[in-house]
Amino acid sequence: MKRIFLASTVLAFAAACTVGTTDNVSDYETDPADLDPKNEMHEHGEANGSDMPATPEGARVFFANLEDGQEVTSPVYIEFGVEGIGVEPAGPVNEGMGHHHILINEEPTPHGVAVPADDTHIHYGGGQTSDTLDLPAGEHTLVLQFADGIHRSYGEQLSASIKVKVTE
C-alpha cells in the first residue's frame, strides 16, 4: 500500500513541477496553427473578444527582474510578474485567469484580439512564468502581454513594455 501511495505522490509532484518550466511554444495545449489569422473562430470558442472575461480590477503584469533601459547580455533571463489575476495553461477560458506572451519589438496586442504565434510573439501556453531568450546585440522593446485561455489579449491594461540594450 505504501508503494502505491509513494508512487502516486511522486507522479503528482512531477506533474506539478512541469507547469513552471521555461519551454515555450512546445508546451501548447492549443496548437498556435489553430489560431485563425483573421481572428474569427478558434477551436475553444469565439475569438472576437465579445465573450472575453473581465479584467480583474487592479490586475497588472510586469517584468520582475528587468528594468526599462537596462543593459543585458544574451541569452536574457526574464521573469514574468503578475498581480491580481491567475496564471494557468492555455485551454478553456476561465474568469480571472490567463497566461503570458512576450512580444519582441512589437506593439501590445489590442484587447480581445488573439496574440499571433511567430518569432516575435512568443507564447507561454504551459503557464510558464519565466524564460531565457536569445536576442541579438542592440536595442529591443519587450512587451509582456497577458491573454486568456485561447490567447485573446487582455489589452494594454495587462501588458508591460520595457526597452533593453543587449550588449555582446
What's the pLDDT at 128?
A: 98
Confidence check: pLDDT of 40 > 80? no
Choose between 168 and 120: higher pLDDT: 120
Give the domain ranges of the chain: 21-167
Confidence check: pLDDT of 67 > 80? yes
- DSSP for 70-127, please give it: EEEESSEEEEEEEESSEE--SSS--TTEEEEEEEES-PPPPTTSBPP-BTTEEE-TT-
What's the pLDDT at 52?
A: 86
Q: How big is the chain by its Cα radius of gyration, in Å?
A: 17
Taking the C-alpha atoms of residue 150 and residue 98, their distance in angstroms, rounded to an integer, is 9
Asked if 43 and 34 count as a contact pair (C-beta separation under 8 A), the reply is yes
pLDDT one-digit tens code per residue, 80-100 = 999 999 999 999 999 999 999
> Rounded to two decimals, what is the model's pTM?
0.73
Statement: 21-167 belongs to CATH 3.90.1150.10: no
Confidence check: pLDDT of 146 > 70? yes
Whether the CA torsion 138, 133, 98, 33 is positive or negative: it is positive
Taking the C-alpha atoms of residue 164 and residue 91, their distance in angstroms, rounded to an integer, is 32
Q: Is 130 helix (H, G, I), strand (E, B) or coil?
A: strand
pLDDT one-digit tens code per residue, 3-34 = 333 333 333 333 333 333 333 433 333 344 44
Number of H helices, E strands in the chain: 1, 11
50 pLDDT band, cuts 50/70/90, is low
